Amino acid sequence: MLKVKNLNVSYGAIHAIHDVSLEVNEGEIVSLIGANGAGKTTTLSTITGLKKAASGEVTLDGQNLLAMPAPKIVGLGLAHVPEGRRIFAEMTVAENLEMGAYTRRERAEVQQSIEDVYGRFPRLKERYRQVAGTLSGGEQQMLAIGRALMSRPKILLMDEPSMGLSPLLVKEIFAIIGEVNASGVTVLLVEQNAKMALSIANRAYVLETGRVVMEGDAKELMGNSEIKKAYLGA
């Protein structure tokens, strides 16, 4: 479904991403793990059109994404849950969800999608009139996921969904990711919590200083001695 080939990205004189290649097949959860500064967020931002690539290819179902503006990419079925949630803090929960459907025109279908999100996240329904900036961290993450789902994505890119959450909430968010995937949405997950990321994924890529240094079956990588030492605290 999603194919990245020989992607290179620079920030001025800094070459941040070096010939990164990865694939995400329909129905999979693929995790991209690595330390802070490895280039994970830059990779996602380039895929979604928020950052310009120096060279390489990014295709979704064979369509070239690098030549498209970000709004058109969303219309193709790719949604991004950014690092730090990036909700509209001054808007209500309901207004945030409506913003997630800005590429859609059928009002009745949008309303049904809102109800679907409330069904998945009952706490958001309880707080639909509440200003989003006053929600807890976990509730804001649920809202960020719900807002992304409002575009009816085929593939969901998630950047550090566990950031700043308690261990109990991390488990809840990862359970939600599993449910979203089971409903038919493909997932590319960037996550510093390597143990959780590998436990939920089908396959994974390890990124170090802007380069893919390892890839394979997620469960096999979890048992790899180098991965254990570097990322799993073993």
8 Å CB contact between 132 and 96: yes
The predicted-structure confidence for 50-99, as pLDDT tens digits, reads as follows: 999 999 999 999 999 998 988 889 889 999 998 877 888 899 999 999 88
How high is the pLDDT of residue 83? 82
What's the CA gap between 210 and 43, in Å, rounded? 9
CA pair distance 144, 57, nearest whole angstrom: 28
Determine the Cα–Cα distance for residues 223 and 218; give it in Å rounded to an integer.
9
Please provide the distance, in angstroms rounded to a whole number, between the alpha carbons at the two ends of the chain.
34
Provide the mean pLDDT of the chain. 91
Which pLDDT score is estimated for 88? 86
What residue ranges define each of the domains in the chain, with the CATH number in brackets?
1-77+186-234 (3.40.50.300)
Two tokens at 120?
Answer: 């998945």
Question: Residues 110-167: pLDDT tens digits?
Answer: 888 889 999 989 999 999 999 998 999 889 999 999 999 998 999 999 999 888 888 8
Tell me if the pTM is above 0.85. Answer: yes
For strands 155-159 and 186-190, give the pairing: parallel
Amino acid identity for residue 108 in this structure:
A
